[in-house]
Amino acid sequence: MRIWDLPPAILCRNHLLGEHRELHCIWNVITKGRKGYSRHPETLRWNGKLKALYLRHDKLVEEIVRRGYKHNSPIDKELTTGSDIQDVYVDSIERQRELLRIKGCGCKVEE
């Protein structure tokens, strides 16, 4: 489970679409009080920051559509509460870039 803190444009197809799926999972855990993944560090960092998560979703959707994929899973703007800034990280930005470099998946992280 991961929401990257990097620009969606650098993500390979698998990471872009995978993050989108996982974002919906986190959104549902938080907004519907689901128990699964509720204690996961990635979920915990978004508590109180649904507005920031909503904005991340918008950025992902923009990139998904730019690449020619269809998007049919909006999230409810009425539920956006809390901070619009995410300043808590599971891994630092540089560590996230390093993790993607190691994967060798096609993400466009600079060397």
Per-residue pLDDT at 37: 94
Q: Report whether pLDDT(111) > 60.
A: no
Per-residue pLDDT at 64: 98
Q: Are 73 and 61 in contact (CB under 8 A)?
A: no
Per-residue pLDDT at 75: 96
Note the pLDDT tens digit of each residue in 38-96.
Answer: 999 999 999 999 999 999 999 999 999 999 999 999 999 999 999 999 999 999 999 99
Per-domain residue ranges for the chain? 8-103
Query: Residue 110 — pLDDT band, cuts 50, 70, 90?
Result: confident
